[in-house]
Structure 1
Amino acid sequence: MTGPRVPRRLVAHEVALSAGLLRWLARRGPHGVREGDTAVPYAPGQAAFMYGILFVSVVETVALAYLVPWPVVHAITLVLDLWGVYFVIALHASCVVRPHVVGADGSLRLRYGALFDLRVPAGRVASVRVERRYPDAGPVSVGADGGVDLAVGSRTTVTVELTEPVVFVRPLGRRGEARTFRFYAEDPAAAVAALRARAVTDNV
């Protein structure tokens, strides 16, 4: 089961990346944000880094186009470099159009582009706070305490504790359970305020 699942997830991820890029280019609104919901952007926190990688990728593509003399190697290198440029743009675009979402009903949707998507049902949030942490890992990782870190630029700014563990799916399909999630929000105070306000409304 594990073998076939990984290629399927990779294909699904490529499709989602392309859809996110098209949505971004078409300047449509954020995906999965309904009336009454609050979008919690995180992409601005990585914009400078992503555009830096994009610049390096473009320079490398142009340089190799002139430096590689062998036609076959030149063609292969060009295709790989162009795919790399596309991937960087599409990954950032998918993060722009897929923000975290505080639902009007008090639910919470945590995402990182097309790589991660978790829905926390309303009523499961026990506490939420602004907390700046700097995990030394990738954008989706599990900390030593079992909590999940959705870092942007090696930073998280909001910590959410749940009333009970929820199942999450890692980018390549492995499943886990956690009751602590730490994520990056461009405006952490506003994200915390929105979650707390929904929690109060839900309990009224």
Structure 2
Amino acid sequence: MASLGLWVTRRRHGVGPGQRPLGYARAQAPMMYGFAFVCTVETVGVGFLLAKMPVVHWIMLVLDVYTVLMVLGFQAAAVTRPHVLGPEGLRVRQGAALDVWIPLERIASVRYDLRFPKAEAAGRQALERDGVLEMAVAAQTCVTVELTEPVTAVKLLGQRVTARTVRFHADEGRAAVAAIREELAAGKETAAVTPV
């Protein structure tokens, strides 16, 4: 719900100076807005059906409005909490549910790799198996980051996730890969110039 406030004020969470946001919300937007529309129509329909029962009508109205706000909140979280790329590393996020920090020195390779995670993962926020973390948006990922050593992230409810490969979606997947590669090259140049 906090993301709704950020969305209305057109602010982003966790994007500092010198950092580049990499959006991922565009792919899920049609589904989320469609779902919000259906929920709104259902709210109006239930309002007419329960017009003669005021107590039940108000209870259902509160629940239905809350549902619409939650759906919009999921989209707002994706818009206001983009992936973030900076000189220190890559922050890969899935709304407010999962936040993975990857230091640049741990990135072995990055590539554009369009994938559609298996059906059992389609309804889940993120799936980790065999050291691969898939953070799909609209049932797809398009960027694969291979790591030299694993990273650990904590989900919203405290569950730990460890991965050596992170797959995520970005609206501009090829541009995201190019930006990560540029940042990696800049980091290597800086390391070569800096005296030991």
2:147 counterpart of 1:162? yes
Cα 1:139/1:201, change in 2 over 3 Å = farther
Any idea what SS the aligned residue of 1:85 has?
helix
Partner residue of 1:190 out of 172, 175, 178: 175
- State the alpha-carbon separation in 2 of the partners of residues 26 and 64 from structure 1: 32
CA contact (8 A) 1:140 1:148 kept: no
Structure 2 gap segments, 5+ residues each:
190-196
Partner of 1:176 in structure 2? 161
| In 2, Cα distance between equivalents of 1:124 and 1:203 | 12
1:143 Cα deviation (Å)?
A: 4.5
Q: 2-side partners of 1:171 and 1:102: how far apart?
A: 22
Which residue in 1 is equivalent to 2:192? none
- Secondary structure (helix, strand or coil) at the match of 1:123 reads helix
User: Which residue of structure 1 aligns with residue 95 of structure 2?
Assistant: 113
For 1:82, the equivalent position in structure 2 comes to 65
- Aligned positions of 1:62-101 closer than 5 A: 62-68=44-50, 69-101=52-84
Offset, 1:99: 0.3
TM-score (norm 2): 0.89
**Which residues in structure 2 correspond to 1:12-23 (within 5 Å)?**
17-18=1-2, 20-23=3-6
Secondary structure of 1:131's match?
strand
Partner residue in 1 for 2:41: 59
Q: Secondary structure at the match of 2:26?
A: helix
Structure 1 residue runs without a partner (length 5+): 1-16
Please tell me the residue identity of whatever aligns with 2:30.
A
1-side partners of 2:129 and 2:77: how far apart? 28
Q: Determine if contact 2:101/2:151 at 8 Å carries over to the other structure.
A: no
Percent sequence identity is 46
Aligned partners of 1:62 and 1:146: how far apart in 2? 46
Measure the CA separation in 2 of the matches of 1:187 and 1:41.
8
Deviations 1:67-100 (A, max 9, x none): 1243332222111111001101111111101100
SS at match of 1:117: strand
Distance 1:168 1:201 in 2: 26
Q: Can you list the C-alpha shifts for 1:139-173, whole angstroms capped at 9, x where unaligned?
A: 53224433111111001010111111111122321
Q: Over the residues paired in the alignment, what is the CA RMSD in angstroms?
A: 1.4
How much does 1:54 deviate? 0.5
Task: Report the count of equivalent residues.
Answer: 185
Deviation readout 1:179-203 (Å, 9 max, x if unpaired): 1111000001111111111111111
Q: Any conservation in 2 of the 1:33–1:101 contact (CA below 8 Å)?
A: yes
Which protein has the larger Cα radius of gyration, Structure 1 or Structure 2? Answer: 2
Q: Distance in 2 between matches of 1:117 and 1:177?
A: 12
Q: Is the 1:112–1:139 Cα contact (8 Å) retained in structure 2?
A: no
Following the alignment from structure 1 to structure 2, what is the Cα–Cα distance between the partners of residues 191 and 88?
A: 27
| Residue 38 (1) aligns with residue 20 (2) | yes
Q: Displaced runs of 4+ in structure 1, greater than 3 A?
A: 143-146
